[in-house]
Amino acid sequence: MDSKTVPTFLVFLNSEYEPCLGTLIHKQWVLTAAHCFLPFLEINIADSKESFQNKIGNLRPMLTVQHPDFSWDSAEHDLMLIKLNHPQKLNDQVKLVVLPNTTDDRRGEKCTVSGWGWEWKNSNTEPDMQLNQTVFWFPNDDCKESPVREFPVKITENMFCAGSSLESTHTCKELAAAPILCQNQLHGILSWSAGCILRGDIGYYTRVSHYTDWIHKVIHSN
């Protein structure tokens, strides 16, 4: 795990139910998981690598757009776009992530998952630890099914799995919907995990390259 290189595109989506991560893909748009949808969200961008105690405030969701094919009884199409109430000023602390320019399979490649978590001693609602984890993009056949919300979810061509090992399972507290970058491009948004992705456990990701047309269409029409 590496905590020295701090991503500048992570957004903290806070709610009473389950806080999530968002990824800044446009000055005014955030990409996250559709299962993070809630009527009321507090949105923060950290301007410090230590924690979200120092944050860029006054952000509100102007519009939330779940993928039209997402449903709660499946993990497929687990993407949502959030339009911020005002565009962000890009600088050393706030930058955009690049969407993938190819749908090529990245199996076997090294990728990086970035996220925020909690130290065990921290009981606050806001995370205090930022980590990057190097993982491998595994073939879907190696991760065929996973128990999620007490029922099996099949992996489709719109998903992929990644981790540092197929065996390990850890316990931790971390934010959902973490982004995974391969070759410095955003290839996935975490949909679910049975362990701790920031410690290398297998995560199951929505394959962003299959949705770039939808993403651009939503942004340009709103």
pLDDT at 220: 98
3-state helix, strand, coil in the chain (%, to 5): 10, 40, 50
According to DSSP, the residues that pair with 20 across neighbouring strands are 13, 176
Indicate where the chain has its CATH 2.40.10.10 domain(s).
10-96+210-221, 110-209
pLDDT at 210: 97
CA distance 153 to 198: 22
Q: What is the 3-state secondary structure (H, E, C) of 95-134?
A: CCCECCCCCCCCCCCEEEEEEEECCCCCCCCCCCEEEEEE
CA distance 160 to 187: 10
pLDDT at 154: 75
CA distance 180 to 203: 10
Give every CB contact of residue 82 below 8 A, 6+ residues apart in sequence.
13, 22, 29, 30, 31, 32, 41, 43, 61, 63, 64, 65
**Which residues are identified as catalytic?**
35, 78
pLDDT at 119: 64
Give every CB contact of residue 107 below 8 A, 6+ residues apart in sequence.
137, 138, 139
Weakly modelled stretches of the chain, pLDDT under 50: 1-4, 48-50, 53-54, 148-151
Q: Per the CATH hierarchy, to which homologous superfamily does domain 10-96+210-221 belong?
A: Trypsin-like serine proteases (2.40.10.10)
From the options 1.10.10.10, 3.40.50.720, 2.40.10.10, 3.40.630.10, give the CATH code of 110-209: 2.40.10.10
